[in-house]
Amino acid sequence: MLDRRAFLLSGLAMYGASARELFAAGPAVQNPKFSASPFTLGVCSGDPTPDGVVLWTRLAIDPLNGGGMPKQPLEVQWQIATDDRLSRVVRSGKAMASPDWAHTVHVELSGLQPHTWYWYQFRVGSELSPIGRTRTFPRAQSAVDRLRFAIASCQHFEVGLYTAYQHMAEEDLDLVLHLGDYIYEGPGVDKLVRKHVGGELMTVDDYRNRYAQYRSDPALRASHASFPFLVVWDDHEVDNNYAGLYHEGGAPVEQFALRRAAAYKAFYEHMPLRRASIPKGALLQLYRPFTYGTLASISMLDTRQYRTDQPCGDNVQLPCAETQDPRATMLGPAQEKWLMDRLNRSQAGWNFLAQQVPMAKLDRFAGPERRFSMDKWDGYEQSRSRLLKFLGTRKPSNPVTLAGDVHNNWVNDLRLDVDDAKTPIVATEFVGTSITSAGDGNELSPLMKAMISENECVRFANNHRGYVRFDLKPKELRADFRVVEYVSRPGAPIKTRASFVVEGGRPGAQEG
Ligand SMILES: [Fe+2]
């Protein structure tokens, strides 16, 4: 079984273009001419280090129909400068936009100054891209005193407008973390706010067109052009509630592996990821480490690719024996070990675990019966308990978990033993609401009201759309829940619905 699985995962030769093909300076068309600008999808940047960052763009004249580009590699020029008019250029070069990779461009820069704002632009032929802004991280040993960032997730295109992104682009941030559900895989549905082009996503072309449709939104492009992003996926980048190679609808693993490979390829193509994340068949290295001076360690985690199947039939259920299965895993053994090794070695004042699904134990059933969502950490009790025990005994400095997925805001205490309110709080959990998913919000749904009263660990919940803005200093983390009243029509103002503070050395958030 293992051999077959390994073959399935990495042996999908049809997607197996190598890193060499992608980045070698092949025979590219040097001065192509276009009938319209090919920079319809904007620019973005991501995965900063103290001396570099990834710059991204894609050439697409007809973005919703395969891109409309010639079936040849095209030469793209790039430059990066220390001012917003690009008069002080510090680096420039050439990259290749290959049809094998949907004419996307990933420029992996090094040699930049730490903790510095930069502006960048691409050119192909005589066409210029919009100018993007990005920022390198401080050196690991630098005693930086502040990091401002936001978390975003769940941006179903059909059910709402990206008003939240419009406001986010105006914020004073160093960084944005995207925690997944960047796209949704479903077919176009009539009578919603907007409509997906095409049917349910299955092929790499389907996924590419969907990313292009999402990036056609100017507010999303504006946020990308304003800040570097650290991205991870959740389920909808492939298919609802998939787990490893298990498809929700029970498709054979051989068939689902092909779909996952197509989805992962399009994800890599459209995200500002490093070469280390170039997919190999149905495998893509997405969990990865970041260090922001002595202030923060950020571990970007992947709770989809390596997890075992959801227990007890998935969805919201009474716990069954499977939720206690010690072989059940959310991270997979290699990622779990990597995370614990990293936390053990961490010198950072704050340790963020940026991942997808809520970790707090949350009874999601109003009334005396206790039912849990098997797709969250609640379905993987032993996996969660190993992690919380690790945090409680090894005590990495100020652990904070970040999640998305559920389309509401939550602040939760994570206790050493989630079933025993007398055990100490070992970490603080912030769950960020959706950008649009679930449509216009309200203060609290009836179920959420019940969940607040029936779950001791919940400090706050709210059901509006938006994002969470964080202001991190050595001695405190402040979280502002930024919300919009509606997403079904344009123009909603942004407001801070609530603010919470975690004091250094004291896990658990206080309203303030
Ligand atoms: Fe979602």
Q: State the chain's mean pLDDT as an integer.
A: 95
Between the CA of 152 and the centroid of ligand 1 the distance, in Å, is 11
pTM as predicted: 0.95
* pLDDT higher than threshold 60 for residue 1: no
* pLDDT higher than threshold 70 for residue 6: no
Between the CA of 425 and the centroid of ligand 1 the distance, in Å, is 28
* pLDDT higher than threshold 70 for residue 7: no
Between the CA of 279 and the centroid of ligand 1 the distance, in Å, is 23
3-state class (DSSP) for residue 367:
coil
Task: Please give the pLDDT value at position 5.
Answer: 59
User: What residues pack around ion ligand 1 (CB closer than 5 A)?
Assistant: 154, 181, 437
Between the CA of 236 and the centroid of ligand 1 the distance, in Å, is 7
Q: What values do phi and psi take at 390, rounded to 5?
A: -60, -45
Task: Please give the pLDDT value at position 30.
Answer: 87
Q: Which comes out higher in pLDDT, residue 26 or 494? A: 494
Between the CA of 290 and the centroid of ligand 1 the distance, in Å, is 25
Give me the sheet containing 425-431, strands edge to edge: 288-292, 296-300, 350-354, 399-403, 425-431, 409-415, 458-462
Query: Per-residue pLDDT averaged across 204-213, rounded?
Result: 98
* Measured distance CA(70)–CA(98) in Å, rounded: 10
Between the CA of 444 and the centroid of ligand 1 the distance, in Å, is 18
Kindly indicate the confidence band of residue 8, based on its pLDDT and cuts at 50, 70 and 90: low
- Burial degree of 252 (CB within 10 A; 0-12, 13-18, 19+): exposed
Between the CA of 248 and the centroid of ligand 1 the distance, in Å, is 15
Kindly indicate the confidence band of residue 28, based on its pLDDT and cuts at 50, 70 and 90: confident
* Measured distance CA(268)–CA(106) in Å, rounded: 10
- Burial degree of 180 (CB within 10 A; 0-12, 13-18, 19+): buried
- Report the run of H or E that residue 449 belongs to, with start and end: helix 446-454
Tens of pLDDT along 315-368? 999 999 999 999 999 999 999 999 999 999 999 999 999 999 999 999 999 999
From the list 361, 354, 376, the residue with the least C-alpha distance to 458 is 361
* pLDDT higher than threshold 80 for residue 369: yes
Between the CA of 317 and the centroid of ligand 1 the distance, in Å, is 19
Between the CA of 431 and the centroid of ligand 1 the distance, in Å, is 12
Between the CA of 407 and the centroid of ligand 1 the distance, in Å, is 6
* Measured distance CA(404)–CA(430) in Å, rounded: 9
Structure tokens at 337: 């070990």
Task: Please give the pLDDT value at position 21.
Answer: 46
Between the CA of 241 and the centroid of ligand 1 the distance, in Å, is 10
Tens of pLDDT along 398-449? 999 999 999 999 999 999 999 999 999 999 999 999 999 999 999 999 999 9
Between the CA of 181 and the centroid of ligand 1 the distance, in Å, is 5
Between the CA of 184 and the centroid of ligand 1 the distance, in Å, is 8
* pLDDT higher than threshold 60 for residue 18: no
Task: Please give the pLDDT value at position 187.
Answer: 98
* pLDDT higher than threshold 80 for residue 100: yes
Tens of pLDDT along 292-316? 999 999 999 999 999 999 999 999 9
